Amino acid sequence: MLQIKDLQAGIEGKEILKGINLTIQPGEVHAIMGPNGSGKSTLASVLAGRSDYEVTGGSVEFLGKDLLDLSPEARAGEGLFLAFQYPVEIPGLSTINFMKTAVNEVRKYRGQEALDAAEFLKLMKEKMNLVNIDKNLLTRSLNEGFSGGEKKRNEVFQMAMLEPRLAILDETDSGLDIDAIRIAAAGVNAVRSKENATLVITHYQRLLDYIVPDFVHVLYNGRIVKSGGKELALELEETGYSFLKNEMNIA
């Protein structure tokens, strides 16, 4: 469903992604690991359409469409979702009103009827239960004054509401304790299906105990330097990333 070919991107003349190749099929879960600053969030942002980043080469195809040609909202409409590493605070806009607008705009994009108030409430209740999020949080200003964990849970809630085909989770586990990780993972697993795929970006292997990946990739210095099965994550947990640097230096 997603084919990334030799993707190169940067910001203000600085090269960050130096030729990424990655293919994700429906039903698969991929994990991207790698040390800080290696370009994981940049990859996620470029896929979601953040305009600060300039794509300097390569291509991305999503469900048969040229992803890089689409606006961020069209990408969401096509079924892409990014759970932000640093969710944005928006004073004066509640998560509920935000989601009411988002769900219906996405439905409009997909040629579906808008949900009325009752239908929306029903959907919201269902997803609230799924990710175990408090209603009070959803009536407050979006992410404003939320703890790190609350912000991440809100991202998972939004993902559940929008039912994406491909969910990209950027360090959704950071800031969460183990119970919260379990709940977040349950949210991800609940929307998993044969048609949908997930790309999990993480630092730690512990999230991968709950969201078990089919493939693990190591991103380092703007390139995927190693790919393997779920055992690669365990291996990294034991040895850390230092070996990579040695490997790279030799190479």
Partner 1 sequence: MSTINIIKDKARELGTTQADALQPIRSAALASFDKLGVPAVKHEEWKYTRISQLFNQSYKIGTDTVDSKLNWELFRLPEFETANELVFINGVYNAAASTVRSAGLVVLPLEEAAKGEYASIVSKHLGHSAEYLKDGINALNTSFLVGGVFIGVNRSTEIEHPVYIYTINDGRAENVFAQPRTLVHVAANAGVMFVETYGSIGHADHFTNQVMEVVVEQDARIEYYKIQNDHAGASLVSTTHFRQVGKSYVHAVTISLNGAMVRNNLNMVMEAEYCESNMYGLYFTSDSCHVDNHTIVDNAKPHCLSNEYYKGILDGASTGVFNGKIFVRQDAQKINAFQSNKNILLSDTASVYTKPQLEIFADDVKCSHGCTIGRLDEEGLFYLRSRGITEATAKSLLLHSFAVDILEQVKPDAIRVYIDQLISERLGSYYGNAYPI
Ligand X SMILES: Nc1ncnc2c1ncn2[C@@H]1O[C@H](COP(=O)(O)OP(=O)(O)O)[C@@H](O)[C@H]1O
- Residue ranges in 14-33 that form contacts with ligand X under rule CB under 6 A: 14, 16
Site for ligand X contains 9 (CB under 6 A): no
Minimal distance, residue 46 CB to partner 1, in Å: 12
Q: Which does 36 bind (CB under 5 to 8 A by kind): partner 1, Mg ion, ligand X, none?
A: ligand X
From the list 225, 217, 103, the residue with the least C-alpha distance to 162 is 103
Q: Which of 1, 9, 29, 39 binds ligand X (CB under 6 A)?
A: 39
CB of 17 to ligand X, least distance (A): 8
CB of 98 to ligand X, least distance (A): 24
11 binds, options Mg ion, ligand X, partner 1, none, Cβ within 5 to 8 A by partner type: ligand X
Site residues, partner 1 (CB under 8 A): 48-52, 71-73, 75-77, 81-82, 84, 87-88, 90-93, 97-102, 104-106, 109, 141, 158, 162
User: Which residues of the shown chain bind ligand X in the complex (CB under 6 A)?
Assistant: 11, 14, 16, 34, 36-42, 52
